[in-house]
Amino acid sequence: QFALLIVITSFCETSITIFTFYWAPWLSSLVMDAPEWLPYEIIFSCFIVASMLGNYAFQLFHESMFGSIENAFQALLICSSISYFLGAIFQTSFMVFCISLLVQFCMGGYWPSVGYMRGKIVMSEFRNMALIFPRVITFVLTSIILTLFKHSPLLVLSSCAVLNGAAAYIQNVYVSTTPGNVA
């Protein structure tokens, strides 16, 4: 269970880190031809609000809509994977902005759900290790993906979609193999 949690958090946090570094160049590449000025401060503020709303909505509705935190976490991972994939496909600035808000909303729900999973799986003596290992893996994966694919939003966002899809699959395996959990 500990190893699965490390892989899940590494994959998700890699996609979060990539998106955090890549959103401004991605949006700029879409409006390069238009003489529009992008209000980066307002866009970033909208992202923060979407993330906060995702966190708040997760805490309010995870039990009533999904039955358990594990099921809500599964839905968030699938939704974020789909959002990254749609972001890779769409090339209009308005659609990309809306999809980016959805990605941020899912990121907001990620943090309380993974915190619950860490609290459930990891003993208190190993909490630091449960935070350090994913950071190292995240650094390596982020470096590789951004080095190889930095000039192609399609490949960068597709990589994020694959990472979150893999995390959703691994989380589904975890839930289905853990005694007492119903997938």
The whole-number mean pLDDT for each consecutive block of 10 residues of the chain, a chain of 183 residues, reads 90 94 83 67 93 92 83 91 92 87 94 89 83 92 92 90 94 78 49
The confidence score (pLDDT) of residue 158 equals 94
Q: What is the pTM of this model?
A: 0.85
The confidence score (pLDDT) of residue 183 equals 43
SS (H, E, C) the chain: CHHHHHHHHHHHHHHHHHHHHHHHHHHHHHCCCCCCCCCHHHHHHHHHHHHHHHHHHHHHHHHHHHCCHHHHHHHHHHHHHHHHHHHHHCCCHHHHHHHHHHHHHHHHHHHHHHHHHHHHHCCHHHHHHHHHHHHHHHHHHHHHHHHHHCCCHHHHHHHHHHHHHHHHHHHHHHHHHCCCCCC
